A and B are shown apart, each in its own frame.
Chain A
Amino acid sequence: QVQLVQSGAEVKKPGASVKVSCKASGYTFSTYAMHWVRQAPGQRLEWMAWINAGNGNTKYSQKFQGRVTITRDTSASTAYMELGSLRSEDTAIYYCARESPTWTFDSWGQGTLVTVSS
């Protein structure tokens, strides 16, 4: 079955960067796009970015443009989300989610809590 397993919780200081991984199994990684969605405490879900796992093309929400980078390693069936210039407002749970079908998220990772605190 499809499974997305994310890296563990992180605590970072303001101004630092964080890189979260999402390892996929149970399907051919390169044939599905992967999205990143975050949820601040008590807040709505928020779409951040998308990567075509086959060719590496990316799309980013304008809100995060310049601060977020999405990459993938097809040999490891893993997608990565790196967010820089962290501030306290970036404290949130970050999810990866597989796209299937179009613009639908049929499988989600378990989430990675990123805490930004001095």
Chain B
Amino acid sequence: QSALTQPASVSGSPGQSITISCTGTSSDVGSYNYVSWYQQHPGKAPKLMIYDVSNRPSGVSNRFSGSKSGNTASLTISGLQAEDEADYYCTSYISGSTLYVVFGGGTKLTVL
């Protein structure tokens, strides 16, 4: 099954910035702006953090930002806080298959 590629883990100290990448193909990330990012704390449901590549839902801190270049999308978290420690997943719409939505493998963010 197709999947987007994310680093397994990233870490940073409080106050620092980190970036998580999400690499797809021309069938998904590269061709559509339907890229979203979700935060998932252990035992909890995912929470939408970024949609349409770079838009933040109401209530999400402006420390979270998204971007895209070619087949790679990125999530940047600035001013790291302890509560940012969680798993982060990217998703994208995908064409040319009966999958429609593809997820990344997830990235574990550790705040040192």
- Given contacts A50-B100, A61-B99, is CB(A45)–CB(B89) below 8 Å? yes
A96 nearest in chain B by CB position = B45
Instruction: Kindly state the separation between the CA atoms of A63 and B51 in the bound complex, as whole angstroms.
Output: 26
Q: Confirm or deny: A72 has a beta carbon within 8 angstroms of a beta carbon on chain B.
A: no
B contact residues, range: 20 to 34
Q: Confirm or deny: B12 has a beta carbon within 8 angstroms of a beta carbon on chain A.
A: no
With a CB–CB cut-off of 8 A, which chain B residues contact A59? 98, 100
Segment at the interface with A among B16-24, B77-85, B102-110: B102-110
B102 nearest in chain A by CB position = A47
Interface contact tally, CB-CB below 8 A: 69
Contact A103 B103 (CB under 8 A): no
Whole-angstrom distance from the CB of B59 to the nearest CB of chain A? 11
- Given contacts A44-B89, A105-B38, is CB(A61)–CB(B45) below 8 Å? no
Minimum-distance CB pairs A-B, first 10:
A47-B101, A62-B98, A108-B45, A103-B34, A104-B51, A103-B93, A45-B103, A44-B105, A104-B36, A106-B48
